Amino acid sequence: MPKLTASQWALFVVFQIFFGLVVFAVTRDYYLREGPPRAPEASAPVMSGAVPPGTSVAPAAREFGLAPPAADSNDPQVLVRQGDDLFGQGRYKDAIPLYEKALALSPDDALIYNDLGLALHYTGESQRAVKLLNQGTTKQPDYQRIWLTLGFVQMENGNNEAARTALTKAQSLDPKNSIGQEAARLLGSLKQAPGNG
């Protein structure tokens, strides 16, 4: 094995940091751009001036950075939609309790596992995110997005073999759609990473 000089080691470390930041930025951009798919909800009737259930944060409240709506709904779709709204604003910590309540109400929904896992990762709780994402893959093994998220989080944690396994599964489920293509791109990044031949 060749010996590296101090400057070569420094260059190697800088490259690793730069590579990690680029992968993080590109993948984060993908998730913010694509977002999780949602089924449209039937409009709720308005009862004599009351705010309809599931009403999201009002634009004025968003503009002034006021607190998110209370998680007083018992409809997982409403809670997830509110969580997604906060996630889209980069308010991951505020989205987590909404996703957690939605998951308690709908414990077999891999989409909720996916969204909660990604929010946890972005708040620095990556180990908890991996555990949760793995649980989600057992609930719905054919849900492609959760495999992509699991691969991304594993890759960010430096668990390249686990990342490769998850990303390969994501790509194999549908290599032609945007999720499969993103999985292929991340797999390519793993191959180019130093030490991964």
In a domain? residue 32 = yes
In a domain? residue 88 = yes
In a domain? residue 44 = no
- State both tokens at 99: 């996703």
The label of the residue with tokens 């194999």 reads 172
In a domain? residue 59 = no
CATH number at residue 28: 1.25.40.10
Q: Which whole number is the average pLDDT over 85-112?
A: 96
Domain count along the chain: 1
What pTM did the predictor assign?
0.65
Of 28, 23, 26, 18, which Cα lies nearest the Cα of 189? 23
Residue 163: Cβ-neighbour burial (10 angstroms; 0-12, 13-18, 19+): buried
Residue 120: Cβ-neighbour burial (10 angstroms; 0-12, 13-18, 19+): buried
* Cα–Cα distance for residue pair 95/142, rounded to 1 Å: 25
pLDDT tens digit string along 17-40? 866 666 666 666 666 666 554 443
- State both tokens at 31: 């998730």
**Domain ranges, residue 97:** 7-36+73-192
In a domain? residue 57 = no
* Cα–Cα distance for residue pair 98/46, rounded to 1 Å: 23
* Cα–Cα distance for residue pair 192/197, rounded to 1 Å: 7
The label of the residue with tokens 């709720």 reads 44
47, pLDDT greater than 50: no
In a domain? residue 180 = yes
pLDDT tier at 11 (50, 70, 90 boundaries)?
confident
Q: What percent of the chain has pLDDT over 70?
A: 69
In a domain? residue 41 = no
Helix or strand (DSSP H, E) at 53: none
In a domain? residue 64 = no
